[in-house]
Structure 1
Amino acid sequence: MKLSSYVCGKWYEGTSQGVETFNAVTGEAVCHVSSEGINFADVVRFGREVGGKALREMTFHDRALALKNMAKALMADKEKFYEISAQTGATRADGWVDIEGGLGTVFSYASLATRELPNDTVLVEGETETLSKNGSFLGRHILTSKPGVSVHINAFNFPIWGMLEKIAPSLIAGVPVIVKPATPSAYLSEAMVRDIVDGGYFPAGAIQIICGSVGDLLEHLNEQDVVTFTGSASTGRKLRTHPNIIENSIPFTMEADSLNAAILGKSVSEDDPEFDLFLREISKEMTIKAGQKCTAIRRVIVPREKVKAVIDGLSTKLDKIAMGDASQEGVRMGALISRDQVRDVAEQVARLTQECEIVHGGSDDFEVIGADKNKGAFYPKTVLYCDRPFEKTLVHEVEAFGPVTTVMPYDELDDAIDIAKLGKGSLVASVYSYDNVETKKLVTSAAAWHGRMLILNRDCAKESTGHGSPLMPLVHGGPGRAGGGEELGG
C-alpha cells in the first residue's frame, strides 16, 4: 500500500516507492510513504489563494463551529483510530492521550473562540489609546488573519494530538494549514485527515497534508507564512536556519525534545506520600508511549541519602509494568515506533554509559508478552545512575528517546537547582515536596530554564494531570534546548 498526500484539492500518490513503514509490534510492513512528484509551489499557492481566501470570509465563530462539528464526528469514529494507533506500538492508554486528548484540545479551542472572540473576521485588542491632547487622534490595536499558510512539521510520537493542537488555532485564526506528519506514523495522521476531508467541515485548501518529504516547500514561503516544528533539537535548528526562513523573517515556532527533570525535595522522607508520587510519576513517564514523549522525565534529581531508596523503589514499580502487544491482557507498555528507533535509543544509552552506570534494565534479557521482541520495536525499561552530575555532563546533553531515565544525587538544595539548569532549557520540570519554603525556592530559582513547572504533593495529586501533560489553557514550550517556542496557551 502507498500512502497518499492531499494537496491542491485531491489525493495524490507519490511517483516513487518511497520509504517503507512497519508495524511496531509485529515488524510487518504497513505502507510506503512518498511525496515524489508533488509541485510544492502549487500546494502553497492553493492554500493561500483558495483555502485562505475562503477561511478569511468565515468569522471566528464560523471557524470554531466547523472545528466543533469536525471533532464530534471524529470522536464518534474514534475506535477506527485506536485500531490504527495500535500499529504504532501504542497501548489503549497511549492512544487515549493522542486521539481523545487531541480531539479534546480541538473542543477546548472551539469553545474558547466562541466564548472570547467576536463573531467577526477582525479582533480588536485592548483599550483605545489617546494620542493627542484633545482626543481627536486615537489608536487601536487590531488583529487580522495572515494571507499566508501555516506549515506544520510534526513528530512521530503524537500523530493525532500533535497535528490537531496546531490545526485548531491556525484555522480559528483564518490561516490554512499544510500538515507534514513524521513518516513512521504518517498513516495514522493521513487516516484522520481523510475523514476530515470527507466530512467537508472546511473549504477546499484549508487543510492539506504532505506524506513524505517536503522537498522544496520551504523555498516557496514568504513573510506572510508561518512554520511550526515539533521534534529533535538538531532537526529544528537546521530548519530554523533555512536560508528562505532567515531572508524573509518567516515566523518559526519550535518545540523540541528536552532533558526534563523531576526533583525530589530534601525534606521528603521515604514514608511521605510525595516519595511515592515521585516514583509513580517517573515510572509513568518512562512507560507511557514507551517513553517517546518530548516531556518525558530524563533526569531524576534526588538527595544523595535517598539514591538507593529511589532506585530500588523505581525498579520495583517498573518490574510490575508488563511490555508487549497492547491487545494482550495485562500489557501496560507498548513498543517504540520502529526498529530504527530501538537502535537509536540503544546507541544513546551506550553513549550515556561512558559516564553513567546502568542500575536497572538496559540488556537484551527482558520479556515481551504476545510478540517477538526480535521483530517488534521493543526496548527495556532502563534506569542509569550518574554519581557526579557536575563533572559528568553527558547526562545533560544526550537524550535516549525511549523508556530511559538517569538518577543523579544532590547534597544541598542549591545543587539540585544547578543540576536542573545544566539541561540548558527544558519543556517541564516537576517538584515533589510538602514543604512550601523548599518548593518556592526550587520553583523560583529554576523557572527561567523551564517552560512549565509542576508542583506535585499530597494535596493536589488526585486532580493533577501529572508531569508530562501539556494543557490547552497553558503555554507549552520552553527556552534554550527546548526550542524557545510556545504552543497552546489558549
Structure 2
Amino acid sequence: MDKRSTRLSLPEAPRNFGFYVDGKSVPAGDRELFERTSPGHGVAVTRIPKCTAADLDMAVDAARRAFDDRRWSGLNGQARAAVLLRAGALIRERAEEIAYWETLENGKPISQARAEVMGCADMYEYASGLARSLHGDSFNNLGDGMFGLVTREPVGVVGIITPWNFPFLILCERVPYILASGCTIVAKPSEVTSATTLILAEIMTEAGLPDGCMNVVTGSGSTIGQALIEHPRVDMLSFTGSTAVGRRVVEAAGKSNFKKLGLELGGKNPQIVFADADLDDAADGVAFGIGFNTGQCCVSGSRLIVERSVADKFADMVKAKFAKVRVGDPLDEATQIGAITTEAQNRVIMDYIARGQNEGARLICGGEQLEISGGQYIAPTLFGDVTQDMAIAREEIFGPVLTVMPFDTVEDAIAIANDTEYGLAASVWTKNIDKALMVTRRVQAGRFWVNTTLAGGPELPLGGFKQSGWGREAGVYGVEEYTQIKSVHIEIGKRQPWVE
C-alpha cells in the first residue's frame, strides 16, 4: 500500500485521563468530566476532569514545595541536563502515541503532528545544554576593595497556559527552558486539547524530574485558567493566546502579586512578495504559510502583500496551489490540511468569509465548508480587491483565509506590512539582498523569514513586537526569561569605618 494513503483507525472508546500533581496522576473521581469530540470525525476521543479551585491549590502547593526545598533548583546543571536529555529520548520513543492523540483532539494532519513531536524532542536536547551553560557575570573593575557578581536565579513557580492550536509544541517551547532555569511548573492546557500535556507530565516523571516540579491542572480558561493567573503563590505566568485575552491577563496579574509575565499573543502577519522573487517558490511558501495547521497559527502568513506588476499572476499561482492541497481526514497520512479545531472557531472563520464578501472583497477561491469524514473543514480561501480598512485585512481570523493587497514601491510594502496593531512574524520573498535586508530591518515583527516561512528550531527565540506580546521563548533567551538577576557586592579586606 502507498504509505501516503495510510489511514489510522479511531479509538474504540474515549481515553480517560486524570490530572497530574506531585509526580502522579490524580483520578477524576467524582469531578465533572469534559468529553472531547474529535473535530475531524465527530466522535468522542478523550475525557478530562474539570479541576476545582482546591485542585489548583494542591498543584501550586506541590510546585511551591518543590521549588522552596530546592530539590530541582539546587541541582547542578549536569543533573538538570540529564533529566532533559532523557525526556527528549522518551518523547521520541512515544512520538507516535503523542502525535495520535494530538491529531484526534486538535484535528491537525497526523504527518504534521509527528513532525512537531520530533521537533519538540529537539527542544529538550537543546535546552539540556543551556542548563549547563546558564551563567551570570562578574565585575573586576570596582577597585581593590570591591568585587561584583551578577547571578541568574530561577523565578520560582511558573504557571503555563497553552492554547488548542499547538498543544504539545507550544508547551515544549516553554517547559524544557523553564526547567533548565531551575523553576517548577503548573500547566493548564486548553480543555479541548489536554491529552498530550498530561502525557508529557508522565514522561517528565519517568525521565527523573523530581515530584512536584511539573504539575498539570485541567479545566476551562475562565475558571481554572483565571485562578492560575491570579494565584498569589505563582511567581510568573506564561500565556499564549489572543491579544484580547492577553490584556485581561495583564490586568489580573497586576491585581494579584505583580507576577512576571511572558505573553505570546495574536498576529496578522505579512508575506511580502516582490516581482523579482522566485514566484514558484513564493507561491508554494505562501500557500504553506496560510495552510499549515489549517491557518490556526499565530504566525500564519495571512496578509499577502505583492508587487502590483505581478499581483494578478501571483494570485492565480496561489489559487492553483490551493486547488492541489489535500484537505481531508487528519488520520490519513496524505492529508495536508485537516479539520478546524472547535465549532466556535469554525463559525468565526465562516463569519469572516461572509464579512469579507459583504465589505466588497472578491472571493477568488474557497470560502465553503467541506463535508469530510463527519468533521468540520473549510476550503483554503483567497480574497482579492482587499483594502486595508477591511476586517479581513486587519483582524486575526485564525483560519485558512488569505487576503491579497498590491504595492508599488518598497516603501509602500513596508507601510502596509506595519499597518497593524500586531508584530509577531513576517516573511519577504525577493532575490535582491538589498531589498530583503531593508524589509527585514524595517518591518516590525519578532520573527522574520527571507525566502521561506514558518521555519525554525530550538536555537532562535520566539516572540512579538507591539500587541503581539512580551518576552521571548526558546533559545538561550528562553531560559533567561525565567530567571531574575541578582547583583552581589563583595567587599575585600578591612572596611573603611563609617563611625570612628
1:140 and 2:154 are equivalent in the alignment = no
1:472 and 2:458 are equivalent in the alignment = yes
**Alpha-carbon distance in 1 for matches of 2:333, 2:52:** 45
**Alpha-carbon distance in 2 for matches of 1:430, 1:278:** 10
User: Which of 167, 178, 196 is the equivalent residue of 1:188?
Assistant: 196
- The RMSD of aligned alpha carbons is 2.1
Contact 1:22 1:338 in 2 (8 A): no
Q: Gaps (5+ residues) in structure 2?
A: 1-13, 477-500
**Alpha-carbon distance in 2 for matches of 1:221, 1:469:** 38
Which residue in the other structure is 1:412 paired with? 409
Which residue in the other structure is 2:141 paired with? 130
Which residue in the other structure is 1:4 paired with? 18
Which residue in the other structure is 2:219 paired with? 212
Residues 322/173 of structure 1: CA separation in 2 closer, same or farther (3 Å cut): same
**Alpha-carbon distance in 1 for matches of 2:375, 2:432:** 45
| Residues 22-44 of structure 1: CA deviation (Å, up to 9, x unaligned) | 11211101233333335123321
1:317 and 2:333 are equivalent in the alignment = no
1:228 maps to amino acid: S
**Alpha-carbon distance in 2 for matches of 1:86, 1:247:** 36
Contact 1:325 1:331 in 2 (8 A): yes
| Residues 309-368 of structure 1: CA deviation (Å, up to 9, x unaligned) | 11110011111111111444643221121333211211233333343222110024x4x6
Which residue in the other structure is 2:170 paired with? 162
**Alpha-carbon distance in 2 for matches of 1:402, 1:63:** 39
Contact 2:59 2:216 in 1 (8 A): no
Which residue in the other structure is 1:179 paired with? 187
2:270 partner SS? strand
Which residue in the other structure is 1:459 paired with? none
1:65 partner SS? helix
Q: 1:418-457 maps to which residues of 2 (within 5 A)?
A: 418-446=415-443, 449-456=444-451
**Alpha-carbon distance in 1 for matches of 2:199, 2:83:** 19
Report the CA distance between 1:218 and its aligned residue: 3.0
User: Which of 107, 111, 123 is the equivalent residue of 1:105?
Assistant: 123
Residues 154/401 of structure 1: CA separation in 2 closer, same or farther (3 Å cut): same
Contact 2:66 2:184 in 1 (8 A): no
| Residues 231-282 of structure 1: CA deviation (Å, up to 9, x unaligned) | 111111111210x43453211110012001110124x1xxx5x211211111
Which residue in the other structure is 2:77 paired with? 60
2:183 partner SS? coil
Report the CA distance between 1:397 and its aligned residue: 2.7
1:216 maps to amino acid: A
1:454 maps to amino acid: W
User: What's the TM-score once normalised by structure 1's chain length?
Assistant: 0.87
Report the CA distance between 1:303 and its aligned residue: 1.3
1:385 and 2:371 are equivalent in the alignment = no
- Say which structure, 1 or 2, has more relative contact order (CA 8 Å, 6+ apart): 2
Report the CA distance between 1:76 and its aligned residue: 1.4
**Alpha-carbon distance in 1 for matches of 2:235, 2:246:** 17
1:281 maps to amino acid: G
1:205 maps to amino acid: G
Which residue in the other structure is 1:460 paired with? none
1:252 and 2:261 are equivalent in the alignment = yes
Q: 1:45-84 maps to which residues of 2 (within 5 A)?
A: 45-52=61-68, 53-84=70-101
Contact 2:77 2:131 in 1 (8 A): yes
| Residues 13-65 of structure 1: CA deviation (Å, up to 9, x unaligned) | 27443433111211101233333335123321211113552112211221111
Residues 353/251 of structure 1: CA separation in 2 closer, same or farther (3 Å cut): farther
**Alpha-carbon distance in 2 for matches of 1:89, 1:361:** 19
1:196 maps to amino acid: M
1:27 partner SS? coil
Residues 172/329 of structure 1: CA separation in 2 closer, same or farther (3 Å cut): closer
1:469 maps to amino acid: A
Which residue in the other structure is 1:299 paired with? 303
2:430 maps to amino acid: S
User: Which of 32, 38, 42 is the equivalent residue of 1:23?
Assistant: 38
Residues 260/166 of structure 1: CA separation in 2 closer, same or farther (3 Å cut): same
1:362 and 2:367 are equivalent in the alignment = yes
Residues 14/377 of structure 1: CA separation in 2 closer, same or farther (3 Å cut): farther
1:379 maps to amino acid: I
**Alpha-carbon distance in 2 for matches of 1:227, 1:470:** 24
**Alpha-carbon distance in 2 for matches of 1:183, 1:411:** 46
Q: 1:262-277 maps to which residues of 2 (within 5 A)?
A: 262-266=271-275, 268=276, 274-277=278-281
Contact 1:51 1:204 in 2 (8 A): no
Structure 1 residue runs of 4 or more that deviate by more than 6 Å after TM superposition? none
**Alpha-carbon distance in 2 for matches of 1:331, 1:292:** 16
1:475 partner SS? coil
Residues 169/305 of structure 1: CA separation in 2 closer, same or farther (3 Å cut): same
Report the CA distance between 1:151 and its aligned residue: 0.5
User: Which of 90, 94, 113 is the equivalent residue of 2:108?
Assistant: 90
Aligned pair count? 453
2:137 maps to amino acid: G
User: Which of 228, 244, 248 is the equivalent residue of 1:238?
Assistant: 248
2:214 maps to amino acid: I
**Alpha-carbon distance in 1 for matches of 2:51, 2:368:** 40
1:239 maps to amino acid: V
2:37 maps to amino acid: F
Contact 2:140 2:148 in 1 (8 A): yes
2:246 partner SS? helix
Contact 2:95 2:114 in 1 (8 A): no
User: Which of 396, 399, 402 is the equivalent residue of 1:402?
Assistant: 399
**Alpha-carbon distance in 1 for matches of 2:50, 2:32:** 10
